[in-house]
Amino acid sequence: MTFYYQKALLISPLFTYIVLKPYYFWSSGYPQIADFTFLVLTSIVFTIYRSMFKFNYILFAILFFIAYTFFVNAFFAMLHQDYGGMVYPIFYAFNGLFIIYAFNIINNNIINYRIWTRMTFLSLFFILASSPIFFEVKLRQDLAFNNPNQLGSFAMMLVIISLYFLTIEKKKLDKSSSFIVAVGSILALLSLSVGSIMGILLAISIYIFLFNRRHLLKFLLLASIMISSISYFIINNSEFISAAESRLVMKLEKSNEAGIIQERGYDRILNHPEYLVFGAGEGQRDRFESFLIDGTRSLELHSTIGTILFSYGFIIFGAFIYLVLKLYKYNRVWFLYFLSLMPYFLTHNMLRNPLLWFFIFLAFYLPVRSSRPDYATN
């Protein structure tokens, strides 16, 4: 098997995941086609190249986190005789597999800007090509996803990771990356996910003002085209305007009824501080007193940071902060782009999103000019 076929096989799990991720055929909470293909292809890759895959202390720490989620959720499941919460450790176990794979392809310099750009370009191209099938005249688009926030977070992660690769490899802003940033931004705008939109705006600002001021005019031109196109669509779409007015009224009513602390579910932390030591798990939400939990709904805490703290306690929260600070010292370029996730982190839970963990482990990616990595054979 030649070097290039080896590389194609090694990158195939991530490639198919990125391309197929936007297509949800079953309801949220169930594995999708992207998950199945990733599991199959990763199993093949692990079998053929098992000697290439190695562990280090950070991977063991992540595996400890997965084991801890199982322990906490299993404890409360048995205590309350409600085993619905055991689905969450399964999500994290899948993420663990994704993390082991991602860490090793990063560590072996299999992934780079060129490969990432190609797979991301194709993913966004297929989204655009299939959008007439899934597009509906409504305020918040979700296309083939199950909800708008999934669309927004997917677009945000593609843009942030692409800009990180551009920065760390000191590449010029080419047509492919411009396409990724433009289309990703439009998809986030169509989802009307405020956290995603703010995340992309922060990442673009970091890229332009800290690393590439010479591209300011190009980004301003792209922004003006996008704003003009979206404004034209809105002005000529009365149904969209009506839906926007309705959502604005609903948002104002919610703001009057509850502040951001209650609206995102942070109030359960204040109401149940007894869970902060070891964590409350993520199931059996009816035991909590919260604005997001009543007779008609039982919603999770809408915060990544809040979920780590409340669901898994000071131990895991402290370990997460320690990891981020260590990565800050190791790769400060990565840390700046990590900060662009904060608006989404504070308003949505993306702890179960594999692309988040892939991005975290990109902190270990530092370009190497070697043309034939260790896994290559003659």
Among 58, 21, 22, residue whose Cα is nearest residue 37: 21
pTM equals 0.89
Q: Is the pLDDT of residue 106 over 80?
A: yes
What pLDDT band is residue 192 in, cutting at 50, 70 and 90? Answer: confident
Among 352, 375, 258, residue whose Cα is nearest residue 2: 375
pLDDT digits (tens, 9 = 90+) for 298-353: 889 999 999 999 999 999 999 999 989 988 988 999 999 999 999 999 999 999 99
Q: Is the pLDDT of residue 373 over 50?
A: no
User: What pLDDT shows up at residue 85?
Assistant: 86
User: What pLDDT shows up at residue 339?
Assistant: 96
User: What pLDDT shows up at residue 58?
Assistant: 72
pLDDT digits (tens, 9 = 90+) for 208-250: 888 777 767 777 776 777 677 666 666 666 666 666 666 666 6
